[in-house]
Amino acid sequence: MPLFTIQNEFRYEIVRKIFEGGMGVVYEAEQIGARDFVKRVAMKVIRPNYASQKTFIDNFIGEAKLVADLIHTNIVQTYHLGEANGVFFIAMELIRGVNLEQFAQQLADKKKVLSRELAVFIVSRVARGLAYAHAKKDKDGKPLGIVHRDVSFKNVMIAFEGDVKLTDFGIAKAKGFLTDQEGEVVAGKADYMSPEQANFQITDKRSDIFSVGVVLAHLLLGKNIFKGPTADESRQRVLKMPIPDFRPMDERIDDKLNDILQRCLSRDLETRYASADELMYELEYYIYHGGYGPTNETLGKFMRELFGQMIPPAVDRPRGQTELIEHTSRIHSQP
C-alpha cells in the first residue's frame, strides 16, 4: 500500500515547435505548478493521423515506460506520460543545444574542423549511455535486453554546456515494453543500421556498436560512407561495401583510431566489440592515456564558440496560438 496519495493537476503550455518527425512532433513547453512554479520541458506528441493506430500507441507508451527508468547523464530523461483529449504525449528533459546533424551542418557552414579528441569524446559519451541501457534490468533483476536500434546523428544531442545525450528509444528492442517485429521489418535509419539490421536478422547490443562506429566515422570524415541516393542503396552499402582503411581519408585518423573504427564496423560479430563498455574503455583510453583529454567543459566551450551563444533566444508565443494541455494524475509515494 502507498504511504499516501497525492491528487495533482499537471498543466503544460506549448511554447514552440522544436522538431517535426514522421510520426511525432516535439515541442518546448512549460510545466506549470503551484505558486508560479514553471519548468521548461520537451514534449513529444503523436501526430493525429497515428493517434488511432493501436500498435503505434502501444509502442509510444512502451517507450515512455522503458525510458522512465533509464536514469543516466548521457540519456535524455523522461518525466511524464500523459493523455489529453485522446492524444498521448511524453514530457522529457529539455536539452538546450542541437543534435549531431545540426552540429555537423554548423561546422560545415563555419568551415570549422572538429578535433579528433572532441570527436572521440562525443562518441565515448554515447557509448557510456548505451553501456548503461544495455545492462539495464527489470525490477526482478532480469536483463531487459535493450537494443536502441536507431543510434544516428539525429538521435544524439549536444547541450551548449557540453553534455552529450542519447535520445529517442522509439524503436528500441526491450523485453515487455515494445512490440517487436524483428525479422519481418527493418527498423532504423538505413545509413546507420548494422548489417544484421539491414538483412532482417535478429539483433543484440552489438548492433548498436556498429551504428556508433558509423557516427564516429561520420564525425571525423564529415560524411556518412554508407549513405546512398535511396534507403535501399544505403542498406546495400551497409551489407556489401568494403570497409575502407580510414587513415588515408583523414589525417586525424591514426593507426589506433583506425583499428577502433574497423572493430566497430566489422560485419563479423565475433570480431566487433562485444559490448559498449569495451568500446567506451577503448575510446576513453585513446583520449586520456596521456594524462589529459577533453571534458564536458571543453566541448561546451567549443559549442558556444561555434554557435556564438550559450542559449538560443526565446521564441515569443504568438497571441492566440498558445496551446494548453491539462492532465490529472495520481502520484504514489512509497515508504
Strand-pair category, 156-159 with 164-166: antiparallel
Q: Pinpoint the residues of the chain covered by CATH 1.10.510.10.
A: 97-307
Strand-pair category, 87-92 with 78-84: antiparallel
Residues paired with 40 in a beta bridge = 30
Q: From CA 274, how far away is CA 331, in angstroms rounded?
A: 40
CATH superfamily of 4-95+313-333: Phosphorylase Kinase; domain 1 (3.30.200.20)
| 111 φψ region: left (φ > 0), alpha (ψ -120 to 50), beta (else) | left
Angstrom CA distances, 295 to 52, 70, 199, 279, stand at 45, 23, 38, 18
Q: What is the pTM of this model?
A: 0.87
* pLDDT given for residue 109 in this prediction: 94
Residues 138, 144: contact at Cβ < 8 Å?
A: yes
Catalytic residue selected from 36, 109, 150, 245: 150
For every residue of 294-319, DSSP letters joined together read --HHHHHHHHHHHHSSSSPPPPPPPT
Q: From CA 328, how far away is CA 318, in angstroms rounded?
A: 27
CATH class of domain segment(s) 97-307? mainly alpha
* pLDDT given for residue 12 in this prediction: 87
Q: From CA 76, how far away is CA 79, in angstroms rounded?
A: 10
Q: From CA 125, how far away is CA 127, in angstroms rounded?
A: 5
* pLDDT given for residue 211 in this prediction: 97
What are 172's three cell numbers? 528500441
Q: What is the pLDDT along the chain (335 residues), one digit of tens a residue?
A: 566 665 566 788 888 998 877 677 889 999 888 888 999 999 988 877 776 777 778 778 877 888 888 999 999 999 888 888 778 888 999 999 999 999 999 999 999 999 999 999 999 999 999 999 999 988 888 888 889 989 999 999 999 999 999 998 876 766 655 555 555 455 678 899 999 999 988 889 999 999 999 999 999 999 999 999 999 999 999 999 999 999 999 999 999 999 999 999 999 999 999 999 999 999 999 999 988 899 999 999 999 999 986 444 444 443 333 333 444 333 332 33
Block residue for cell numbers 522544436: 18
Q: Pinpoint the residues of the chain covered by CATH 3.30.200.20.
A: 4-95+313-333
Catalytic residue status for 250: no
